[in-house]
Amino acid sequence: MRRPPLFLWIASLAVYAFLYVPLAVVVLFSFNDSLLNAEWVGFTTRWYRVLLEDEAMLAAAANSLVIALTASCIATVLGTMAGIAMHRWHIRLLPFLVLTPVAMPEILLGVSLLLFFRQALDLTLGLASILIAHITFSIGFVAIIVRARLAGMDESIFEAARDLGATQWEGFRFITFPLILPGVLAGFLMSFTLSIDDFVITFFTAGVGVTTLPLQIYSMIKVAVSPEVNAVSTLLMALTLSLITLALRLAPDLLKSKQ
């Protein structure tokens, strides 16, 4: 194969620089020994100590983690079932219902959920409303990933299992689930990532006195971006990268244990 032209290398480097240089700046200035992010003064880790002593930020982070874990677990279960249903039964209305929240603009979905919670259900906005909203927009992403995983499989495997006397539950437990497990893990990580850093939908469905990490960061950067915001952003990036690395290492082992 011929080497790519030079302009492709330049374009690729420019794109990666556009994506990752701002993240590197955030990480770098989280260690800056200055209250202002205008210039580099010196190295320090005191902003992480300040972060650990900030009760409001810790409470917001706890809310985000609880909501993200709960929403991603429920969305993974429901999205997996929806993905399997869309693959096996070609019901025209089902893909429309599952995938509409994915294609819908976030601001429209947030306003719609707000009106639904307040006018239709008369539900007090709070952690419960945020959780329901996050589950709603996460299901579609999980369903898409699981459905794509099933689409690349050989249907003769499932037919052979049925010919050998496997029930539907046994076929799902011993054949379908081990094969789609990487897709399920990817869907869980996708929904967790989308939930923990969502701002627009959370802004509309959060009640008074209830805040998550994105809402807390937004309230802090109205005046200026402090190094504490850089510190919590760095920890959030580290958490996301750790989960992705863990999933990549666990998926092959889980597949081998099911064989």
Q: What is the pLDDT of residue 255?
A: 44
- Amino acid found at 76: T
What stretches of the chain show up as alpha helix (H) in DSSP? 6-29, 46-52, 55-88, 93-103, 106-115, 127-151, 155-163, 168-171, 177-196, 200-205, 213-220, 227-258
Q: What is the pLDDT of residue 29?
A: 85
- CATH value at residue 139: 1.10.3720.10
Whether 6 is in a domain gets the answer no
Range of the domain at 232: 54-258
Domain count, the chain: 1
Whether 11 is in a domain gets the answer no
Whether 49 is in a domain gets the answer no
Whether 89 is in a domain gets the answer yes
Whether 252 is in a domain gets the answer yes
Q: What is the pLDDT of residue 256?
A: 45
Whether 108 is in a domain gets the answer yes
| Calpha distance 233→237 (Å, rounded) | 6
Whether 12 is in a domain gets the answer no
* DSSP secondary structure letter of residue 154: -
- Amino acid found at 127: L
- Chain-centre distance of CA 11, in angstroms? 28
Tokens of 223: 């005046």
Inter-residue long-range contacts of 215-218, CB under 8 Å, 24+ positions, other chains counted: 215/60, 216/56, 216/57, 216/60
Whether 37 is in a domain gets the answer no
| Calpha distance 141→101 (Å, rounded) | 9
User: In a structure prediction context, what are the per-residue pLDDT tens digits for the chain, which is 259 residues long?
Assistant: 567 777 888 888 999 899 888 888 888 888 888 777 767 888 888 888 888 888 888 888 889 999 999 999 999 999 999 888 888 887 777 778 888 888 888 888 888 889 888 888 888 888 889 999 999 989 988 888 888 888 877 777 777 777 777 777 777 788 788 888 888 888 888 888 888 888 889 989 887 778 888 888 888 777 667 788 888 888 888 887 787 777 666 554 444 444 4
Question: Would you call 259 helix, strand, or coil by DSSP?
Answer: coil
